[in-house]
A and B are shown apart, each in its own frame.
Chain A
Amino acid sequence: MNLHEYQGKELLKSYGVAIQEGTVAHTVEEAAQAYNKLAEETGSKFAVVKAQIHAGGRGKGGGVKLVKSLDDLKEKADNILGMMLKTPQTPGGMEGPGKLVRKILVAEDAYVPSPDECDEFYVSVLMDRERKCNVIIYSTEGGMDIETVAEETPHLVHKEYIDPTLGLQGFQTRKIAFNLGLSGKAFKEMTKFISSLYSAFVGADASLFEINPCLKTGDDRIIAVDCKVTLDENALFRHKDLAAMRDTDEEDPTEVEAKEYGLNYVKLDGNVGCMVNGAGLAMATMDIIKLSGGDPANFLDVGGTADAARVEQAFRIILKDKNVKAILINIFGGIVRCDRVAQGVVDAYKNMGNIDVPIIVRLQGTNADVAKKLIDESGLAVKSAILLREAADLVKEAVA
Chain B
Amino acid sequence: MSVLVNKDSKVIVQGFTGKEGSFHAEQMIEYGTNVVGGVTPGKGGQEHLGKPVFNTVADAVKEAGADTSVIFVPPAFAGDAIMEAADAGIKVIICITEGIPVQDMVKVKAYLNGRDCRLVGPNCPGVITPGGAKCGIMPGFIHNPGRIGIVSRSGTLTYEAVDQVTKAGMGQSTCIGIGGDPIIGTTTKEAVELLMNDPDTDGIIMIGEIGGGMEAEAAQYIKAHGTKPVVGFIAGQTAPKGRTMGHAGAIIGGAEDTAEAKMKIMEECGIHVVASPATIGETMKKALQG
Contact = CB atoms under 8 A, between A and B. Distances in A.
Interface of A: 127, 129-130, 132-134, 163-165, 202, 205, 207, 232-235, 237-238, 264, 266, 268, 270, 276-284, 286-291, 295-296, 299, 301, 332-335, 364-366, 387-389, 391-392
Nearest to B105: A132
Contacts of B100: 234
A191 B163 CA distance: 56
B154 A132 contact: no
Contacts of B212: 129-130
A290 B238 CA distance: 7
A130 B257 CA distance: 12
Contact of A296 (B107, B182, B238, B278): B238
Given A235-B103, A365-B159, A366-B139, A287 B182 contact: no
B107 A129 contact: no
Nearest to B27: A335
A391 B278 CA distance: 9
B32 interface: no
A283 B236 contact: yes
A392 B278 contact: yes
A332 B154 CA distance: 12
Interface in B81-104: 99-104
Given A129-B213, A280-B153, A365 B238 contact: no
Interface stretch (B198-206, B219-227, B242-250): B242-250
14 contacts: A127-B102, A165-B107, A205-B101, A207-B102, A268-B238, A277-B156, A280-B154, A281-B160, A283-B235, A283-B245, A283-B250, A288-B276, A301-B246, A334-B137
Contacts of A289: 238
Nearest to A162: B106
B254 to A, nearest CB: 8
B278 A388 contact: yes
A220 B213 CA distance: 40
B245 A266 contact: yes
Contacts of A288: 276-278
Nearest to B141: A366
B238 A280 contact: no
Given A283-B250, A287-B238, 15 more contacts: A129-B213, A130-B213, A132-B105, A164-B110, A205-B101, A232-B101, A235-B103, A235-B104, A237-B75, A237-B76, A266-B240, A281-B235, A283-B210, A286-B238, A365-B139
Contacts of B233: 284
Contacts of B239: 283, 286, 299
Contact of A278 (B104, B106, B155, B163): B155
Nearest to A279: B246
Nearest to A147: B254
A-B pairs, top 10 by smallest CB distance, nearest first, are A280-B154, A279-B246, A278-B156, A334-B139, A235-B101, A280-B157, A283-B235, A164-B110, A388-B278, A281-B156
Contact of B156 (A132, A207, A332): A332
A371 to B, nearest CB: 14
Given A283-B239, A286-B238, A365-B163, A234 B99 contact: yes
A238 B249 CA distance: 21
Contacts of B160: 281, 284, 332, 364, 388
B103 A232 contact: yes
Interface string B141-156: 1100000000011111
B138 interface: yes
A12 to B, nearest CB: 17
Contact of B247 (A129, A132, A279, A332): A279
Given A291-B276, A334-B139, A283 B107 contact: no
B235 A165 contact: no
A237, A284, A287: residue with the most chain B Cβ atoms closer than 10 Å? A284
B275 interface: yes
Contacts of B48: none
Contacts of A388: 160, 164, 277-278
Given A129-B212, A289-B238, A234 B102 contact: yes
A366 B27 CA distance: 14
A131 to B, nearest CB: 10
B215 interface: no
Given A286-B238, A299-B246, A365-B139, A234 B278 contact: no
Nearest to B243: A266
B154 A287 contact: no
Contacts of A130: 212-213
Contacts of B141: 366
A287 B237 contact: yes
A283 B276 contact: no
Contacts of A279: 154, 180, 245-247, 250
Contacts of A268: 238, 240
Interface in B24-83: 27, 75-76
B7 to A, nearest CB: 22
A276 B159 CA distance: 13
Contact of A282 (B104, B138, B246): B246
A298 to B, nearest CB: 11
Contacts of A133: 106, 110
A283 B258 CA distance: 13
Contact of A234 (B75, B106, B164): B75
Nearest to B154: A280
Contact of B137 (A127, A237, A335): A335
A389 B164 CA distance: 11
Contacts of A238: 76, 101
B271 interface: no
B109 interface: yes
B106 A132 contact: yes
A334 B142 contact: yes
Contacts of A365: 139, 142, 159, 163
Contact of B103 (A205, A276, A299, A335): A205
Given A127-B102, A235-B101, A287 B235 contact: yes
B183 interface: yes
A364 B107 CA distance: 39
B207 interface: yes
A365 B276 CA distance: 19
Contacts of A132: 105-106, 109-110, 183
